[in-house]
């Protein structure tokens, strides 16, 4: 059975999509950008600050669905500039202690609201 995940602790969808969808023990989290859910605005700051906010948003959705970072099996990281990869990677690595998920990282021309980063996440129970 498909279950739609919603939490006020992560930004509301800014389009026709769900924060996350769970089906058959797999959680698909829509790409998260560094929006502060309290203000609804993009956080100011460099790639490190924006990546930390993205991870707070991902964690809130994982928690709402009954998952944790240890359940994450795949991430897709979209960066506005590959020059930010090293700094993003350091923040990313701090959220996964061992058995890191599979990951892809791409540079893209633009991201919603001028964000520096967007991360899509898949977790499995």
pLDDT tens for the chain, residues 1 to 125: 999 999 999 999 888 999 999 999 999 999 999 999 999 999 999 999 999 999 999 999 999 999 999 999 999 999 999 999 999 999 999 999 888 999 999 999 999 999 999 999 999 99
The topology (CATH level 3) of 3-124 is 60s Ribosomal Protein L30; Chain: A; (3.30.1330)
Q: Which residue bears the tokens 């939490």?
A: 7
Q: Where are the chain's structural domains?
A: 3-124
Number of H helices, E strands in the chain: 2, 8
| 102-107/72-79 β-pairing | parallel
DSSP assignment, residue 83?
Answer: G
**Residue 65: Cβ within 10 Å count:** 22
């Amino acid at each position: 059975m498909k279950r739609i995940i919603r939490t006020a602790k992560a930004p509301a969808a800014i389009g026709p999509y769900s924060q996350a969808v769970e089906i058959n023990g797999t959680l698909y989290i829509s790409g998260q950008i560094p929006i502060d859910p309290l203000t609804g605005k993009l956080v100011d700051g460099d790639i490190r600050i924006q990546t930390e906010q993205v991870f707070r948003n991902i964690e809130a959705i994982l928690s709402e669905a009954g998952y944790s970072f240890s359940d994450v099996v795949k991430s897709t990281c979209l960066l506005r500039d590959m020059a930010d990869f090293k700094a993003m990677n350091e923040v990313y690595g701090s959220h996964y202690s061992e058995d890191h998920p599979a990951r892809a990282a791409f540079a893209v021309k633009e991201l919603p609201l001028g964000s520096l980063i967007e991360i899509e996440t898949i977790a499995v129970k």
